[in-house]
Amino acid sequence: MQVLKFKSDKVDTFLGSLFLVTAWASVLLLAALLLFLLLESWPLWSRVGVLSFISGQVWLPLSAVPQIGIAPMLVSTLWVAAGALVLAAPLGLACAAFLAEFAPAPLTAVMRPVLNLLTGIPSVVYGFLGAAVLVRFFEVSFDLPSGESLFAASLVLAIMVLPFIVANSEIALRSVLNDYRHTSLALGVSRPYYVMRILIPAARKGIIASMVLAFGRAAGETMAVLMMAGNTMFMPGSWFNQGEPLPALIALELGSASPGSLHYQALFAAGLVLLVLVILVNILLSSFLLPKGNEVKPF
């Protein structure tokens, strides 16, 4: 009597190809998105040229002699997103280290769901609160004609991306071998020393990955930025100037651009630049993180 039977190869093959197809589908989706943006904006690239589109200082797509350049918007995007990261990264890392290493279990049980809830708050609510509270605060306390600025937008964005940094960094910190903690603490060093010397360096890959994700979100965030950044099309000279980041530009103008016009194509081109920027940052940072020959590897 034979009880154990060989499972059909067909099932294995089917499951294998199913996983393969779904994996490729997500890759294809990104490729399709890039292709769509490229096709919609194509005539513009041949007419204006990549370099002058990116470095052009003037955005007048509807004038008799259209001038199309997105440099001020691109710089605003970078200011806003990088600024948000500068504010959120140390806070997020400290918070993650606290949750992963110091917080007593009951406190973690409360804090983690709260942080997760923060990610679910619609960005328009953040923008509204920012505009009502933060912008007013700047106007009143610093006696400014307008409290809107790239800095104000960065502040709100920092709060928005903080939960992502905390959640992903905490996962990275928790994945570090427990043996390191036992070994370190048994030597008589304090927990903070262990965290700074061993834990955070060992988890740095995951931590930086969480920062990259946060940068991508901050660069692409539209609503809050649109309500906070001031939306002026001049090249921002500092963090405290006003500006109009790319997502805000697209959201504000796409509704009024007639399909197929140069204006319409220019907005799609701006979208393409934004997407390529985020992808480039991803590739650049992850190539930094690849283990190199002589490096002290965490795992």
Partner 1 sequence: MKDVVIELKNFNSRYGKQEVLQNISLTFPHQTITAIIGPSGCGKTTLLRSINRSAELESGYSCTGDILLSGASMFNMNAYSVRRQVGMVFQTPVALPLSIRQNVLFAPRYYGLRQRALQDDLVENCLRKVALWEEVKDRLHKPASQLSGGQKQRLAIARVLAVKPRVLLLDEPCSSLDPASTERVEETIRGLAAELCIVIVTHNLAQARRLANETAFMLNGQLIETGPTENIFSSPKHEKTRDFVTGLFG
Interface residues with partner 1 (CB under 8 A) are 105, 177, 179-180, 182-190, 193, 197-198, 201-202, 294-299
Q: Which is nearer to partner 1, 6 or 299 (CB)?
A: 299
Alpha-carbon distance 223 to 226, whole Å?
A: 5
CB of 172 to partner 1, least distance (A): 14
Phi, psi dihedrals of residue 19, rounded to the nearest 5°: -65, -40
Which residue, 18 or 185, has its beta carbon nearer to partner 1? 185
* DSSP secondary structure code for residue 175 in this structure: T
Closest to partner 1 by CB, 100 or 275: 100
Distance of alpha carbon 115 from the chain centroid = 17
Q: β-pairing, 59-60 with 67-68?
A: antiparallel
The CB-of-281 to partner 1 minimum distance in angstroms stands at: 27
The type of residue at 78 is L
Q: Which is nearer to partner 1, 73 or 209 (CB)?
A: 209
- Measure the CA–CA gap between 258 and 275, rounded to whole angstroms: 23
Distance (Å, whole) CA 214 – CA 87 = 12
CB of 296 to partner 1, least distance (A): 4
CB of 61 to partner 1, least distance (A): 53
113 vs 201, beta carbon nearer partner 1: 201
Query: What's the min distance (Å) between Cβ of 184 and partner 1?
Result: 7
Beta strands in the chain (DSSP E): 59-60, 67-68
